[in-house]
Amino acid sequence: MLKISNVTRRFGDKIAVDSVTLDIPQGQMVGIIGRSGAGKSTLLRMINRLADVSSGVIEYDGVQTSTLRGQALRNWQRDCAMIFQQFNLVPRLDVITNVMLGRLNGRNPLLNLLQLFTADEQLAALKALERLDIAQTATQWAQTLSGGQQQRVAIARALMQGPKLILADEPIASLDPRNAQIVMDSLRDINAEGITVITNLHTLDTARAYCERIVGMSAGKVVFDGTPDQLTTDVARTIYGADGLKEAFSEAMTSTAIAPLVAPTVRSMDATSTS
Amino acid sequence: MADMTSGERDLSPATGAIHRHYRQLLATRRLYSLIAVAGVAIVLVLALLFANEASSGKFIDRLPYLFDFIKNFVPDDPFEIVRAMFDLPSPYADGSFKYDYEVGRHYLFGTGFYIPEYFFEMLVTLNIAFASTLIGGLFAFFFCFLAASNLGVAGPLRWIVRRLFELMRAFPEIVLAGMMAAVLSLGPIAAIFAVSVHTVGALGKMFFEVVENADMKPDDGLRAVGANWFERVRFAIVPQVMPNFVSYFLLRTEINVRASTIIGAVGGGGIGEVFRQAIGRDHAAKTYAIVILLFLTIVAIDQLSGWLRRRLVGNAAFQFGA
């Protein structure tokens, strides 16, 4: 159970995240939606502690993760894996090593620096890659892969960490619809194993198709928290603003809309919003 | 994810083959790494042994005497260093040159105000460094674009400019200064010439490499506008590379201050020359005064140029495309 209580983050005199309070039970698949600059990324980065909170508390299973330090902090970061929009792999390193880097925490540091991994770890990495259907790329440099493949390598690295939750910061914003669908399907499969998945999404339709719970953010505040069914056009308008609504439904950019299961709902909402 | 650490039998045959292939690659890579590390270690040991053989004194044998020079080379009292630095009269004056600090004064405006000898010589050295960095930097700036391979400069011209840069940085400043002293006689002009030539070669190479890393999209944009070569260089390339140029230029300034000091010792004038005289004649107080002055000046120059670099360039240095 992840508990976010009154968390605020300031950059100078700008407030990026404004007293956000959320309780996320273990195993939930949560989509956070909102316009660019709404504070979605900052919120995820504070959970993983890539950024610190200005005030407020984040707790996981009773442990206050927002104040952890040193090894305890690194252990928490291993437990909540992060996936990025730009993949953040090591470009000039082969794919299998990139995946094995997910295990850095908890191994002998000297072996890590000498890049010595055991056969078990190699097999585990290959298994993760196989699961994401890209095992054949294992010996290539990560930078030679396409965007969709790189994002799947990033997911494999996250799986290698043995995480309790996975945070995905706009995981499909740089991908074409086909790859976006593969990545979102993988996240859903992982979620089915009991791992909490919290993902920032730019577009509504993807969130509605994949997430059991949707959190809407606007100007740093949570303005909606509910199921996809509760997310009406009026609510979407408060999240995205009147002129941002079209962007939210734009399929060209970041949508997984080729997935047939979402088509009917989206189309009806699209019709109401553009009329 | 606990089941992920099981053996190869869980993998599909294709992935199993990939795993064996990966193990092979890994074994080869480790073998090469091992050979490389062993090779470097052997070469290093041989080089040090050879250097030790070529020296008249043996390093290990002489190690206990490391501080003997400092022990024997002491001024009569610590204030002698201050007197030597500011050309004040010495209580030990015996008519010899060793204690005659006042003779080096450089009087300005009649007899009331003077610049102490070593400060003046330091200025001579700094003057050499700044003048030659400016001259060298200017030539490097104008010619580096002809050496870059991404601006469509004709191959033969590029080849000639590159070889010229190489030739100019092939000789250390001290060799050039020695040659020039034979032509221009001793003094700062020979030193400026020497350091300038070396600077053109060294900065030219760094500059054209920066140019080659530049993003060519703005160049395409201006080419599509119908701009000629000079206009494209001026507007598509120069704004991008300027931060790195400034950075390298300031770095070169620091290097040239040191180079100008050394050149003094072979007749280039400046602080290096008086240092060589002082230490050669066993004038301890003067030597310490010069060493301290030199140290403070170089630290000050490094700090100043670092500060200037941050102010002028900020985080833009060594970053492209952002």
Q: What is the CATH number of the domain that holds A131?
A: 3.40.50.300
Closest CA to A150 of A174, A166, A125: A174
Residue B8: predicted pLDDT: 64
A138 touches chain B (CB under 8 A): yes
The CA distance from A97 to A249, in Å, is: 38
Task: Examine the pLDDT at A269 and tell me if it is beyond 60.
Answer: no
The CA distance from A256 to A183, in Å, is: 10
Residue B267: predicted pLDDT: 75
Q: Is the pTM of this model over 0.80?
A: no
The CA distance from A84 to A193, in Å, is: 21
Please identify which residue in the block is written with the tokens 């437990």. A79
Looking at every residue in chain A, the average pLDDT score rounds to 86
Q: Are strands A2-11 and B113-115 parallel, antiparallel or unpaired?
A: unpaired
A and B: number of Cβ contacts within 8 A? 53
Name which of A100-114, A199-213, B67-81, B287-301 the model is least confident about. Answer: B67-81
The CA distance from B269 to B265, in Å, is: 7
Task: Examine the pLDDT at A271 and tell me if it is beyond 80.
Answer: no
| Cβ atoms B118, B296 nearer than 8 A | no
Give the mutation candidate from A111, A123, A140 for the B interface (greatest B CB count, under 10 A).
A123
Name which of A224-228, B25-29, B67-71 the model is least confident about. Answer: B67-71
Q: What is the DSSP letter of A51?
A: S
A124 contacts in chain B (CB < 8 Å): 4-5
Measured in angstroms, the CA of B247 and the nearest CA of chain A are apart by 27
A97 touches chain B (CB under 8 A): no
Q: What is the DSSP letter of B99?
A: T
Looking at every residue in chain B, the average pLDDT score rounds to 85
In the sheet that holds A196-201, the strands lie side by side as A80-83, A165-169, A196-201, A29-33, A213-218, A221-226
CB contact under 8 A, B18 and A159: no
Task: Examine the pLDDT at A155 and tell me if it is beyond 90.
Answer: yes
Q: What angle do CA A148, A152, A155 make, to 5 degrees?
A: 140
Task: Examine the pLDDT at B166 and tell me if it is beyond 60.
Answer: yes
Q: In which domain, by residue range, is A126 found?
A: 2-274
Give residue-wise pLDDT tens across range B86-140: 888 888 878 777 778 877 788 887 777 888 888 999 999 999 999 999 999 999 9
Total domain count for chain A? 1
Closest CA to B148 of B171, B165, B134: B165
Q: Which of A130, A162, A193 minimises the CB distance to B15?
A: A130
Q: Which residue of B has its CA nearest to A117?
A: B26
